[in-house]
Chains A and B, each alone.
Chain A
Amino acid sequence: MVALPSQRLAVALLLASTVAPVTPAHQTGEVAERLPSIGAAADFRLTAQDGTALSLTDLRGKVVAISFIYTRCPDTCPLLTTKLMGVQKALGSAFGDDVFFLSITVDPEHDRPAVLKRYAESLRVDLGGWAFLTGTAEQIRQVARDYGVFHETQTGGDVNHNLLTSLVDHQGLLRVQYMGERFDPNELLRDLQLLAASATPP
């Protein structure tokens, strides 16, 4: 049986509300073992929901979670975003200061900054640590390619794409990617906290 979008959203909301805070770990050995350095994360410079330019290097020193969504997405993107909202809440004061979320649209023609701003406001996310980004079709194509995200616009505006959330450490290294929207939010939270802790001298 396939769950309706509203049912899936309800499940995601439940998950978001049950993300448990995890004690940060400082063991760099554990970080290296759990989160291998895959390589340098590709840089990009896109336009945020408030119209300002934002690049990945602007966030150097923070741990960045990069996801790809689009505002008209009827099912999976809201589930992913809601899951990230739960993690945002669990991060507490670290969110914004140490950890930053980027949601990049794969529907740049529709998702202009004003649309992204309304979307962010409707979700009531904390824009102090979260930016929604758009750009030209070519810019989006390139950044999606760099992060291994396939996207293809269908007739009617639906966008076929895979959900992939990438974690970039404070040095700009790609450390791990989460596929889909059904991953354990506590695992993501733990990875973010491990990376944030490893960026801070003990």
Chain B
Amino acid sequence: MPTEANAIWNRREFLQGLSLAGAAGAFGLWPSAAAAEPAPETTTIRLIFDPEAPAMCYAPQYVAEQFLGLEGFTDVRYVPKGVDGSEALALLRDQADISAALNVDWIAAVDDNRDTVVLSGLHAGCIEVFANDRVQTIRDLKGKRVAVNGLESPDRRLLAGVAAYIGLDPERDIEWVYARPGEWAPMLAAGDVDGIVTFPPMSYDVREKNIGHVILNTTTDEPWRHYFCCMIGARREFVQRYPVATKRALRAMIKANQLCSLEPRRTAQWLLDRGYASNYEHTLLTLQDVPYGAWRDYDPADTLRFYALRLREAGLLDRTPEEIIERGADWRFLDEIKRELRA
């Protein structure tokens, strides 16, 4: 069934763009001599790396730097994501073209407008919620203080969805304390808040300093471990204007994803050498712990559906899960890459 997002692509664009090579081959349009895969329509691409609060589970996005060059991008830029902590919003502000972001970040962006498109999952797991001794489970967060980046931040949306899933009203039951990510662990250690949402490498730092204990781990805990945590998306305008570049950029990130999974030690060292990481051990642990291989096995639509339901339960989403998928997902690039790249 054609989706609202897909309908924007007309037949001419479709044949000229993304599926030129694939479609022509499949329909026998190149009986003997074929053109090489088309070059990207643009050689400039902007991704997100936030030096203030680097998300190391996004390692494939940084490792992709080396593959983006091979895909024909000569001007690869990494930009910070901004004070709201949202990669999706950074794309909406036209600061970047493609990025990884937390699943709920994409869902919220799609709920608000249609200017971003989710292209693929990146990895499952990675989020851990730490709490002090007053809190043993997510349910114990009722009446407690939790540090988050802001009212509209992805970390707050995620925890609100988790809280709603077990019956809490995140608006009334949890007292949200707004602070920069670098302040969260000290606040938990000092007793200023009762819980924090962490992602690598922060989670390893918190654990190493013996601050609090884990009450939720989306890599291992049911049902969260069955869904993508972070997903890859792009600006819709970029996808529409540059379909070949979009596919090539996504392929670079998927190749990088595979490298993170297969060669964690070398990749960790590379991230350290290139300045994307500052702690080798924490980076290595991230690459070893985060389920990067999920990109091929998990269905990204399942993740959007599941988390959209959580956000609706939390009162944070107007649209239905199916509307979110129809408005904001385009799996054709991923489907083609899955057929062309085996692992």
Identify the A interface with B (CB < 8 A).
Answer: 2, 32-40, 42, 76, 144-145, 148-150, 152, 160, 162-164, 171, 173-174, 176-183, 187-188
| Distance of A160 Cα from B271 Cα, bound (Å) | 12
The closest CB in chain A to the CB of B21 belongs to A39
Distance from A150 Cβ to chain B, minimum over Cβ atoms (Å): 4
Residues of B within 8 A of A149 (CB): 70
Report the stretch among B113-121, B170-178, B197-205, B262-270 that lies at the interface. Answer: B262-270
Report the stretch among B23-31, B96-104, B144-152, B226-234 that lies at the interface. Answer: B23-31
Q: Is the interface of A mostly helix, strand, loop or mixed?
A: mixed
Q: Does B336 sit at the interface, judged by CB under 8 A? A: yes
Distance from B41 Cβ to chain A, minimum over Cβ atoms (Å): 16
Q: Specify which of A160, A162, A171, A182 is in contact with B255 (CB 8 Å cutoff).
A: A162
| Distance of A182 Cα from B67 Cα, bound (Å) | 20
Question: What are the 4 tightest A-B residue pairs by CB atom distance, in nearest-first order?
Answer: A37-B25, A39-B37, A150-B66, A179-B258
A38-B21, A180-B258 known, 14 other contacts, Cβ within 8 Å: A37-B24, A37-B25, A37-B26, A39-B37, A40-B36, A42-B36, A148-B251, A163-B262, A173-B34, A174-B37, A176-B342, A178-B342, A179-B262, A180-B261
User: Max chain B CB contacts within 10 Å: which of A2, A144, A180?
Assistant: A180
Residues of A within 8 A of B26 (CB): 32-33, 36-37
Q: Is the interface of B mostly helix, strand, loop or mixed?
A: helix
Mask for B279-312, Cβ within 8 A of A = 1, else 0?
Answer: 0000000000000000000000000000000000
Given A32-B25, A150-B66, A150-B67, verify A40-B342 contact (CB < 8 Å). no
23 A-B contact pairs sorted by A residue (CB < 8 Å)? A2-B265, A32-B26, A32-B28, A33-B26, A36-B25, A36-B26, A36-B336, A38-B21, A42-B36, A145-B70, A148-B67, A148-B70, A149-B70, A150-B66, A164-B255, A171-B34, A178-B341, A178-B343, A179-B258, A180-B261, A180-B343, A182-B262, A187-B342
Identify the B interface with A (CB < 8 A).
Answer: 21-22, 24-26, 28, 30, 32-38, 66-67, 70-71, 251, 255, 258-259, 261-263, 265-266, 270, 336, 339-343
| Distance of A180 Cα from B261 Cα, bound (Å) | 10
Residues of B within 8 A of A162 (CB): 67, 255, 258-259, 263
Does A183 contact B343, Cβ atoms closer than 8 Å? yes
